[in-house]
Structure 1
């Protein structure tokens, strides 16, 4: 027989909405004594008892979608939920069960900008995300730094459609493929700001893919605001201001529970060189705010008037103060594993040409 579990308490603040609180116990693997509360609005009042009843007796291992579905099915069609939803209730319940987590449930670390080869950067993204998933590394924010000019193409992009081989050779550009989807990135030392978040998937439990992007980058918006930039997410994965796009994000979730979320923001890019290396169509150019008369793409430099180092320092300090993160480094074992994956995967022609 499964022993009773100590009563759980979980809280979830709906982005732009209200606080939902779940108090409950687990008896023999089933939810018991469920009590949902919060500063939300609900009509009629009796619907609160229906929410509690819908959750009572569910297996404690129920998925987020199963819990949200049970709540939705337990409510009459005329019930009005204002400031919360069945999904928000399910997230609070899973947090009470320690199946969903919050930022403060984790000890965070920061790896400051470290010059590495581009192959090493993309290999480390896989290695460190898996390390967080298996518990050998704490959740981590890592900033990239570039050793040489590079193009990083998305995991599902066609190499021949995205990169001009003659332009790449002319500018001594290294081309690599990353594990996440999204578009190609042209990188040189000092021209962009790129960071990766390695986290447990429990942190985004219950969030849609679309909602997880702004959730994971709320600290970035705070840092940009401190620098005088009002930025927001433009679904699905673009970071924008009233002057246009400044960056883009991509994600990958791993089978062991780890997750990668990374972002690149333009600081000061040579647009002529970029378009010589990348096969960028007119439609993409219009979205990037590039015209034939422009020689550089410099949203962060232009909009802040600050050095790249100052912007990086603000981002690091914002994340550290918000989440209590401590500076750390990459272990010799992690570097060795990344080197191994370069040899067997990221540095191979088979991986680079997986989509010809």
Structure 2
């Protein structure tokens, strides 16, 4: 029998509210207050989400954040920083003890990303899974520069970025599905040893990452993307989705957390997060 998840499209919110809502969905599911959830969302302005363990001072050009007026928010999940701009973002909230959720982070991502895979297929994009290169030990502060195991590729280029955490017996996975990427803005936001290296990496980026508009050679509407990936999750993960809505009280909890935590410089900028909250 197929599992049943709630589906919610929360539309366009600011960075703090987007991350607060993902955390609250995890909390409510751990308390048995809500079902498993697939959420779609967008960002009110281009925003940078930082991986849980990333050091702002080492990775991010703060002057460029100010110049572009880019909000920075730290995620609960690890990984590299992501510039959220012209994209559809998704999150999945599901109990770890579900029989179809493997214990391994990589294997769980493989199972859940079948929904993204099927969504790309619906859009006419041929995707495949990245494999681990054991000889490549390099790391990048920029999410789309380097694929992780089982992340999705199109034509040898990374086409989505994803991250996962497990807390309170609940798996939270969220990810970025870009329609287009502003390479100029993206590479201006990160620290590099020199301007020459910044420009070299910016030029090389086109060989490492791609987007839905690039692969389809047309401007795909957001509604088309949402329909494709919603159907993709239903068929790819083999789940049923039913409409889910937040109550006014739940939205108030989200706004309170957004203000107290995700709008707070102690959370977003402090590197030693184990001492915060």
TM-score of the two chains, using structure 2 as the length reference: 0.80
1:309-328 residue pairs with structure 2 within 5 A?
Answer: 309=222, 310-320=224-234, 322-328=238-244
Choose which of 258, 264, 267 in structure 2 pairs with 1:342.
258
1:108 counterpart SS class = strand
The structural deviation recorded for 1:149 is 1.9
2:77 equivalent in structure 1: 180
CA RMSD of aligned residues (A): 2.5
1:173-212 residue pairs with structure 2 within 5 A?
Answer: 173-188=70-85, 191-203=86-98, 204-212=100-108
Cα separation, partners in 2 of 1:280 and 1:176, compared to 1, 3 Å: farther
The structural deviation recorded for 1:227 is 1.7
The structural deviation recorded for 1:298 is 5.1
Cα separation, partners in 2 of 1:221 and 1:206, compared to 1, 3 Å: closer
1:285-296 residue pairs with structure 2 within 5 A?
Answer: 290-291=202-203
1:214 equivalent in structure 2: 110
Q: Tell me if 1:170 matches 2:67.
A: yes
- Kindly provide the CA deviation profile for residues 218-253 of structure 1, in whole angstroms up to 9, marking residues without a partner as x: 122112112222223324353212240111211111
Contact kept? 2:42, 2:87, Cα under 8 Å: no
Cα distance in 1 for residues equivalent to 2:192 and 2:212: 21
Q: Tell me if 1:267 matches 2:179.
A: yes
2:126 equivalent in structure 1: 230
Contact kept? 2:119, 2:232, Cα under 8 Å: yes
The structural deviation recorded for 1:108 is 0.9
Q: Tell me the number of residue pairs that the alignment of Structure 1 and Structure 2 aligns.
A: 245
| Greater C-alpha Rg | 1
Cα separation, partners in 2 of 1:293 and 1:240, compared to 1, 3 Å: closer
Cα distance in 2 for residues equivalent to 1:245 and 1:225: 15
Which structure has the higher relative contact order (CA within 8 Å, separation 6+)?
2
- Kindly provide the CA deviation profile for residues 99-126 of structure 1, in whole angstroms up to 9, marking residues without a partner as x: xxx8x2x321111251111100111111
TM-score of the two chains, using structure 1 as the length reference: 0.63
Cα distance in 1 for residues equivalent to 2:150 and 2:229: 19
2:170 equivalent in structure 1: 258
1:324 counterpart SS class = strand
Structure 1: which 5+ residue stretches go unaligned? 1-101
Cα separation, partners in 2 of 1:205 and 1:313, compared to 1, 3 Å: closer
Choose which of 139, 152, 156 in structure 2 pairs with 1:239.
152
2:52 counterpart SS class = coil
Structure 2: which 5+ residue stretches go unaligned? 131-147, 273-277
Cα distance in 2 for residues equivalent to 1:121 and 1:186: 14
Cα separation, partners in 2 of 1:320 and 1:216, compared to 1, 3 Å: closer
Cα distance in 1 for residues equivalent to 2:230 and 2:163: 20
The structure where strand makes up a greater share of residues is 1
1:131 counterpart SS class = helix
1:62-211 residue pairs with structure 2 within 5 A?
Answer: 104=2, 106-188=3-85, 191-203=86-98, 204-211=100-107
Contact kept? 2:122, 2:232, Cα under 8 Å: no
Cα separation, partners in 2 of 1:209 and 1:291, compared to 1, 3 Å: same
2:268 equivalent in structure 1: 352
Choose which of 162, 185, 188 in structure 2 pairs with 1:249.
162
